Chains A and B, each alone.
Chain A
């Protein structure tokens, strides 16, 4: 069975602070894929990143970075110098034959 845990239900930080969203997953498969999505108040789930289980290199895209650690089954997401536009619910997801979502972390950036 697959499971994704996002233990942080809600996080609030002041603008320009860095923030890390945690994601821990469980799977018995050796090949799998991990995703992060952003859901702003409008409702759309916006795809941010996909990472396969064989690629443990960290990735940086502008102010966003992702830390994949297979040893701890974690795929954490860090926003550097946060901005108000980063306020949203962020979902981590695990994909093998089906996409399993975590329960999401609501991030609020305070101006």
Chain B
């Protein structure tokens, strides 16, 4: 069983819908991440949270809105998405401070299809 769980695993939404992806980690970490994986593209880091504070936003469109209520939970709120936003969204967590070589652990991902 993975230490990082994501729900839902699969989501189909229309362009005018509002939905949310949820991530929960059971590893006692204080850093959490959202990554996007599109077909034939490298993994893209979207957001980073350290101790519930957003520390990185890689120029992600505002139709993606993250929320981190505590160090164990991370959400990605989705609103008026485009078909090109269809991808696998991966949540991850680690101990804070990647320059210390802390390992990032990933969830199983949420497969999102925008129609």
Contacts and interface: CB of A to CB of B under 8 A. Distances in A.
Interface stretch (A11-19, A45-53, A59-67, A78-86): A45-53
B11 interface: no
A35 B101 CA distance: 10
B108 A98 contact: no
Contacts of B104: 47, 95, 99
Contact of A52 (B43, B88, B101): B101
Interface in B94-115: 98-99, 101, 103-109, 111
B89 to A, nearest CB: 10
- Size category of the B interface is 10 to 19
B7 to A, nearest CB: 13
Nearest to B97: A97
Contacts of B92: 45
B13 interface: no
B106 A95 contact: no
Contact of B98 (A45, A91, A96, A103): A96
Interface of A: 31, 33, 35, 37, 42-47, 50, 52, 91, 95-99, 101-104
